[in-house]
Structure 1
Amino acid sequence: MNTANLKLQLENITKTFGDGDSSIKVLKNVTLNVKAGEFVALVGPSGSGKSTFLSVAGALLAPSSGRIVIGGQDLSQFSEKQMNEIRLDKIGFVFQSANLIPYLTVKDQLLLIAELSGKKGKQANQKADEMLSRLGLSHRAHAYPENLSGGERQRVAIARAWMNDPEILLADEPTASLDSERGRAVVEMLSQEVKERNKAAIMVTHDTRMLDLCDRVVYMEDGVLTEQPVFQH
Structure 2
Amino acid sequence: MSNKLILDNISKVFGDGDTSVKVLDGVSLQVKAGEFVAVVGPSGSGKSTFLSIAGALLSPSSGRIILSDQDVSKLTPKKMNQLRLEKIGFVFQASNLIPYLSVRDQLLLIAELAGSPIKEAEKRANDLLTHLGLAHRRDHYPESLSGGERQRVAIGRALMNDPELILADEPTASLDSERGRAVVQMLADEVKARGKAAIMVTHDKRMLDVCDRVVYIEDGKLSEQPKRVAMSL
TM-score by length of 2: 0.91
Q: 1:220 Cα deviation (Å)?
A: 0.7
The answer to whether the Cα contact below 8 Å between 2:148 and 2:183 also exists between their aligned partners in 1 is no
> 3-state SS of the aligned residue for 1:9?
strand
In structure 2, runs of 5+ residues without a counterpart are 229-233
Residue 155 in structure 1 maps to residue 164 in structure 2: no
User: Which residue type is aligned with residue 78 of structure 1?
Assistant: L
TM-score by length of 1: 0.91
Q: CA RMSD in A?
A: 1.6
Residue 38 in structure 1 maps to residue 35 in structure 2: yes
Query: How many pairs align?
Result: 228
Q: 1:141 Cα deviation (Å)?
A: 1.7
The answer to whether the Cα contact below 8 Å between 2:151 and 2:183 also exists between their aligned partners in 1 is no
Q: Which residue of 1 aligns with 2:226?
A: 230
> 3-state SS of the aligned residue for 2:226?
strand
Question: Residues of 2 paired with 1:179 and 1:137: CA distance?
Answer: 19
Residue 105 in structure 1 maps to residue 102 in structure 2: yes
Q: 2:61 aligns with which of 35, 53, 64?
A: 64
Distance 1:197 1:151, change over 3 A: closer
Q: Which residue of 2 aligns with 1:91?
A: 88
Could you list the per-position Cα deviations for residues 69-122 of structure 1 after superposition, in whole angstroms to 9, with x for gaps in the alignment? 000001121100110111011100111122222221111010011112222333
Residue 15 in structure 1 maps to residue 18 in structure 2: no
Q: 1:201 Cα deviation (Å)?
A: 0.4
In structure 1, runs of 5+ residues without a counterpart are none
User: Which residue type is aligned with residue 44 of structure 2?
Assistant: G
For residues 75-224 of structure 1, what are the structure 2 equivalents within 5 Å? 75-224=72-221
Q: 1:62 Cα deviation (Å)?
A: 0.5
Q: 1:138 Cα deviation (Å)?
A: 2.5
Question: Residues of 2 paired with 1:193 and 1:150: CA distance?
Answer: 19
The answer to whether the Cα contact below 8 Å between 1:154 and 1:177 also exists between their aligned partners in 2 is no
Q: 1:20 Cα deviation (Å)?
A: 1.6
Moved more, 157-166 or 95-104: 95-104
Moved more, 115-124 or 213-222: 115-124
> 3-state SS of the aligned residue for 2:115?
coil
Identity of matched residues, %: 69
Moved more, 140-149 or 187-196: 140-149
Q: 1:13 Cα deviation (Å)?
A: 0.6
Could you list the per-position Cα deviations for residues 2-34 of structure 1 after superposition, in whole angstroms to 9, with x for gaps in the alignment? xx8110000111111111211111111110011
